[in-house]
Amino acid sequence: VDGAYDDFSDGIDDGWGHEFGDWVVLNGEYTATGEPGPPMSSILGRSFDDLVFDGDLRITKKGAAQLGIRVQDLSSTGVSNVGNGILLVIFPGGGSIYWHVIVDGVGEPQNVRPLGMRVSVEHPLHVRLEVVGDTYNAYVNGKLKNTLVDSTYHSGKLVVGVNLGYPTPTTWDNIQVKNLESRPSD
């Protein structure tokens, strides 16, 4: 098992790519600055197959954040800048958590589920994503909130995203990604 960890206490580690937006560390947390929109940043510039992602998300009740999984490419015309890949959206503003399967920049929301929790910028959410084979499980604060089963992509980059234009910046912190060992097929 290998992976990456960043708590942003010493700035931005070298592995982060800056594909969209100007990403900075503010008060030990990773965020984007600039014009409103969904800027994103890829992790380690490498691909992951099966993985476990853990991260702390500081977000307002009107905010939105994204996790791109098995992303093949980013595109300014894609859904939240993802051209091809799977996207998890955490949207307290709409009280929901949902997925997009994006192919050639297009992908409608799927499996829209209620977030079902109070959100406050003072209390970061802990987000965990487990991806094994074709199954994507999203947990928030230790509770399974949404599952997607999809075979479109088998590996790709992991991307974090935030939406700008809300009163308090949305930030990520304490990000850990574990690339799981390949498992034999049944």
How confident is the model over 110-143, as pLDDT tens digits? Answer: 999 999 988 888 889 999 999 999 999 999 999 9
Structure tokens at 90: 């955490």
∠ Cα 7 13 73 (to 5°): 105
In this predicted structure, what is the pLDDT of residue 43? 76
Closest CA to 85 of 111, 105, 65, 108: 105
For residue 184, is pLDDT > 60? no
Q: What is the pTM of this model?
A: 0.91
The residue-averaged pLDDT of 81-104 equals 94
Domains and CATH numbers, the chain: 2-179 (2.60.120.560)
Q: Answer for the pair 139, 146: CB distance below 8 angstroms, yes or no.
A: no
Closest CA to 105 of 68, 149, 73: 73
Structure tokens at 40: 């994103």
Average pLDDT of the chain, as a whole number: 88
For residue 144, is pLDDT > 70? yes
Give the contacts of 92 (CB within 8 A, at least 6 positions apart). 59, 60, 61, 62, 63, 64, 115, 119
For 93, the 3-state DSSP assignment is helix
Start-to-end Cα distance in the chain: 21
For residue 186, is pLDDT > 50? no
Q: How far apart are CA 82 and CA 68, in angstroms?
A: 7
Residue whose structure tokens are 């075979």: 151
For 151, the 3-state DSSP assignment is coil
For 94, the 3-state DSSP assignment is helix
